Amino acid sequence: MFKRLLMESPFFLLASLVIIIFALPAKADPPADHDLNADYPFRKVDVLQGDIFTIFFGSNVKNLSANCQSLTQNSSFYLSISTAYEEPHLGKVIVVGVQLKKPRTYNLTIYLNADDPRNYTLGVYTRHLGFYESYWGRGISLREYFVKHAFFSRHTGKWMIIIPLESHGSISPSRFPRLILPTSVNLILLLAIWLLMFYVNSFAFLDTYFRSKREKVSYGRWIIIGLMMLISIYLAYQVYVFITFQE
Q: In degrees rounded to 5, what are phi and psi of residue 64? A: -80, 135
Q: What digits encode the pLDDT tens for the residues 167-192?
A: 998 665 445 454 555 556 667 777 88
pLDDT at 161: 93
- In the predicted model, is pLDDT for residue 193 greater than 70? yes
pLDDT at 110: 93
Q: What digits encode the pLDDT tens for the residues 67-114?
A: 998 877 777 889 999 888 888 777 888 999 999 888 889 999 999 998
- In the predicted model, is pLDDT for residue 154 greater than 70? yes
What's the whole-number mean pLDDT along residues 123-127? 89
Q: Which amino acid is at 208?
A: T
Task: Please tell me the distance from the alpha carbon of residue 243 to that of residue 14, in angstroms, as a whole number.
Answer: 16
- In the predicted model, is pLDDT for residue 9 greater than 60? no
Q: Which amino acid is at 190?
A: L
pLDDT at 12: 41
- In the predicted model, is pLDDT for residue 15 greater than 50? no
Task: Please tell me the distance from the alpha carbon of residue 81 to that of residue 100, in angstroms, as a whole number.
Answer: 15
Specify whether the CB–CB gap between 126 and 88 falls below 8 A: no
pLDDT at 20: 33
Residue 66: which of 135, 3, 120, 11 has the closest Cα? 120
- Strands laid side by side in the 118-125 sheet: 77-87, 91-100, 52-58, 118-125, 146-154, 141-143
Task: Please tell me the distance from the alpha carbon of residue 145 to that of residue 124, in angstroms, as a whole number.
Answer: 8
pLDDT at 137: 81
Residue 118: which of 56, 163, 57 has the closest Cα? 57
Q: What digits encode the pLDDT tens for the residues 52-71?
A: 999 999 888 889 999 998 87
DSSP state letter for 183: -
Three-state SS for 1? coil
Task: Please tell me the distance from the alpha carbon of residue 1 to that of residue 81, in angstroms, as a whole number.
Answer: 9
Task: Please tell me the distance from the alpha carbon of residue 164 to that of residue 45, in angstroms, as a whole number.
Answer: 6
- In the predicted model, is pLDDT for residue 29 greater than 60? no
Mean pLDDT of the chain: 77
Q: Which amino acid is at 90?
A: L
Residue 101: which of 146, 168, 8 has the closest Cα? 168
Residues 6 or more apart whose CB falls under 8 angstroms from that of 156 comprise 114, 115, 116, 117, 118
Q: What digits encode the pLDDT tens for the residues 161-170?
A: 999 999 998 6
What's the whole-number mean pLDDT along residues 30-36? 62
Specify the higher pLDDT residue, 152 or 15. Answer: 152
pLDDT over 90, % of the chain? 18
